[in-house]
Amino acid sequence: MATLYELTENWQTVMNLLEDGADAEAVENALADISGEIEEKADGYAKIIFELNGEAEKIKAEKDRLYAREQAFKNNAKAMKERLEEAMVRCGKPKFKTELFSFNIQKNAPSVVIEDEDRFRMWAEKNMPDVLKHKVEVDKKQLSDALKNGAVVEYAGLKYSESLRIR
């Protein structure tokens, strides 16, 4: 059985024969050699494609399961650390050493707390505009609708493509 590449080449040969105006017998002979083979090859490809997609789904499910497990371990470690810190504070022992570890409750760097982000943003626009970041994004859905409705837009346009659907 021919490879998909060979079958594609054979179909192109038939197309070339038709374009060149070859006689019906030459076209019929070329078609007889490849008739039905591409369908068989396509079935084989489809089986492998579905198998690969199935394996990818299994891997994704396992990745999600492992991520949930990772989060559980991290949450347990965080809770234990919080309980240990609370116990050290309550016992009045903010700093000590053991044979294996050193324990110390220290001050962290200050962090910013914004009580009402909308009000702060309005205040900062007038008083401290340099602390604000402005992120501009293209709304591609709205741009697509405008282009479909005939809008003339520089540096942007619609791209139409095709893709294979296997059912």
Per DSSP, the residues of 83-137 read HHHHHHHHTT-SEEE-SS-EEE--PPPP----S-HHHHHHHHHHH-GGG------
Task: Express each pLDDT in 46-56 by its tens digit.
Answer: 888 899 899 99
Domain ranges for the chain, please list them.
36-148
* 20 against 57, higher pLDDT: 57
Specify the pLDDT at position 157.
95
| Residue pointed to by tokens 């003339």 | 152
**Percentage of the residues of the chain whose pLDDT score is greater than 90:** 66
Instruction: Look up the pTM and report it.
Output: 0.60
- Per the listing, tokens 């520089």 go with 154
Please give the Cα distance from 138 to 153 (Å, whole number).
13
Which of 62, 52, 14 lies closest to 34 in space, CA to CA? 14
